[in-house]
Amino acid sequence: MDVVDMGNPLSVPVGGATLGRIFNVLGEPVDNLGPVDTLTTSPIHKSAPAFIDLDTTLSIFETGIKVVDLLAPYRRGEKSDYSVGLAWVKQY
């Protein structure tokens, strides 16, 4: 396989039209659902946002497992061990 210099950083399409789609590393859809209807792209390598720009409001991350969401809710962005929570649910 040949290597081709694209002349710019690798960028992938972003936006609502990309949700649920599968892309290769070049940002081309590989799920046989046709082209993506978006003009917005974002490079795969970029600087992290400044800390001051991050959203610090507390919100609950819904796991979709009712017992976990009720008895051991996780805060969005918080580090947590989901495998322990899932093992706990399996016991019951």
Alpha-carbon span 89 to 64, nearest angstrom: 12
User: 60: which strand partners?
Assistant: 75
Q: What is the DSSP letter of 25?
A: T
Q: Which ranges of 1-91 does DSSP label H, i.e. alpha helix?
A: 66-71, 82-90
pLDDT 10s digits, 13-64:
999 999 999 998 888 899 999 999 888 988 888 898 888 887 777 777 777 8
Which pTM value belongs to this model? 0.48
d(CA 33, CA 21): 8
Look at 43 and 86; give whichever has higher pLDDT: 43
Of 91 and 13, the one with more pLDDT: 13
Residue 76, Cβ neighbours under 10 Å: how many?
Answer: 11
The answer to whether 74 and 63 have CB atoms below 8 angstroms apart is yes
Tokens standing for residue 61: 């991350």
